Amino acid sequence: HTAYGRVVNFTEGEHRWESTAEQDRAIHSIIYDHKAKTLSVLDQLKVPHETVFIPVNGVADAFDVIKKMQVRGAPLIATVGTLGLGVELAKFNGTYDELQVFVGTQGDVLISSRPTAINLKNAINDIKDIAAKDRLVSSDTNNLITKIQDAAYQWYLNEREENDRLLRNSTVCVEAIKPDGGKLVVMTICNTGSLATSSHGTALGVIKQLHVRGRLELAIVLETRPYNQGSRLTAYELQNEKIPFVLITDSMAASAMNHFNVDVVLVGADQVALNGDTANKVGTYMLACLASLHRIPFYVVTPVTSINPRIASGKEIVVEERPAKELITFNNALTAPEGTPVWNPAFDITPGTLITGILTDKGNVDHTNVRSLF
Ligand code: MRU
């Protein structure tokens, strides 16, 4: 089987980015003050019932909120991790050499919080590069601290800017499925919206743009077992922005493709290899197989920061395994016999050949052209 559909690129002037009051209502996932070096994050485990922001006072807090999945989504994990390191450095009072070691070790601690989402590793590698280059020209501790804090802030600002370009490029490609301007039925999995980024989102951001531009018929949202990011978070965002959607269980995906005449499947990414193999929320591979069988275009919508230029294929991606408890409990009550053996990978790998296009802030490519983005 291969992917169905084609890749269309943005050319100057054919798309106007649109933002509305609905988008201003979008939920914000983090609050950061660069002057005061204070960071807090929305506790996503409490959404949709409560809106509680938790302070992140340094690396240990950043590690905890990422590990416990109080913040999640590959772009947001990177932003919270790097800003957390910046906040930590505001308290640093060692020598220049100690600072160099500290940045390396604390960066590695952060990377170990969730191994599949590559954005954080890419961001920490950037910061390590800054530290390494600084050593060649200076030994001023405060100066290096400021450089790292500014780089973390810049990462956050860039994440927002790249999101605008990503949505412009992706929306053009998705709208080209119906050149007559007809409305689209879109299927998606997990949460890839304002709660997974510090901006509008990736795949869910495109769904929002289609809605704003009058091109969305309906979003079909997979519940996304076992952590229910679809039902807890995506449904919450879509309801909040008054976007038409229906929620289905993951096992309804095949019949929903027929029942709702799905036009396109849009998903995010946690790590993309150079051959286009893509790690994303477990269930994504299933959707790609089903999309191919039903001749439905299947796009990965992702910033280039989620691509790992150091790996040739998905075989090299480490897939995070989550605790059994997530699968056999609901609201802390057991839903299977105690001690039930469980396999609970958080992600799966979709072969590049099953992906119609990888839509990014630097342009849209098929799986054979990922390298051209670098
Ligand atoms: O385990 P999660 O909730 O962090 O998984 C999130 C996803 O799989 C998203 O699709 C991915 O991070 C892209 S978010 C823009």
pLDDT digits 0-9 by tens, 321-354: 999 999 999 888 999 999 999 999 999 999 999 9
Q: Which of 61, 270, 277, 361 is catalytic?
A: 270
Does ligand 1 have an atom closer than 6 angstroms to the CB of 192? yes
Q: What is the pLDDT of residue 160?
A: 87
Angle between helices 141-175 and 96-111 (to 10 degrees): 30
Task: Specify the residue for token string 């070691």.
Answer: 101
* Residue 346 in contact with ligand 1 by CB distance below 6 A: yes
pLDDT tens digits for range 46-60: 999 999 999 999 999
The Å distance, Cα 225 to ligand 1 centre, comes to 13
DSSP state of 312: S
- What sign does the CA torsion over 342, 347, 351, 356 have? positive
ipTM above 0.85 for this complex: yes
- Ligand 1, atom nearest to 347 Cα: 8
Please tell me if the CB atom of residue 229 comes closer than 6 angstroms to any atom of ligand 1: yes
pLDDT at 331: 83
* 43 is an active site residue: no
Least confident of 22-36, 58-72, 174-188, 342-356: 22-36
Q: What is the pLDDT of residue 23?
A: 65
Least confident of 7-21, 40-54, 293-307: 7-21
Closest ligand 1 atom number to CA of residue 193 = 15
pLDDT at position 208 over 90? yes
How much is the pLDDT for 27?
Answer: 82
Q: Say whether pLDDT at 312 is over 70.
A: yes
Write out pLDDT tens, residues 215-268: 999 999 999 999 999 999 999 999 999 999 999 999 999 999 999 999 999 999
Question: Dihedral of the CA atoms 44, 278, 165, 373 (nearest 10)?
Answer: 150
* pLDDT recorded at residue 126: 96
The C-alpha angle with vertex 165 and arms to 164 and 168, in degrees rounded to 5, equals 90
Q: Which pLDDT score, from 0 to 100, does residue 20 have?
A: 66
Query: Which pair of tokens denotes residue 104?
Result: 């390396």
The kind and range of the H/E element at 187 are: strand 184-188
Residue 2 pLDDT exceeds 80: yes
Q: What mean pLDDT do residues 61-67 have?
A: 98
| Ligand 1 lined by 196 (C-beta under 6 Å) | yes
> Looking at residues 9-32, what average pLDDT do you find?
77
332 CA to centre of ligand 1 in angstroms: 23
Cβ of residue 356 lying under 6 Å from some atom of ligand 1: no
Lowest-pLDDT range of 263-272, 286-295, 300-309, 323-332: 323-332
Which distant-in-sequence residues (6+ apart) come within 8 Å of 78 by Cβ? 117, 119, 120, 122, 123, 155, 159, 305
Q: What is the pLDDT of residues 135-170, one digit of tens each?
A: 999 999 999 999 999 999 999 999 989 999 999 999
Q: What string of DSSP letters covers 99-168?
A: HHHHHHHHHHHHHTTSSS-HHHHHHHHHHHHHHHHHHHH---HHHHHHHHHHHHHHHHHHHHHHHHHHHH
Q: Ligand 1 centroid to 269 CA: how many Å?
A: 7
Torsion of CA 254, 255, 261, 263, to 10 degrees: -10
- Separation of CA 346 and ligand 1 centre (Å): 9
Instruction: Give the atom of ligand 1 at the shortest distance from the alpha carbon of 204.
Output: 15
Q: Which own/partner pairs from 177-180 qualify as long-range (CB within 8 Å, at least 24 positions apart)?
A: 177/5, 177/263, 177/264, 177/297, 178/215, 178/263
Q: What is the pLDDT of residue 17?
A: 67
pLDDT digits (tens, 9 = 90+) for 98-132: 999 999 999 999 999 999 999 999 999 999 999 99
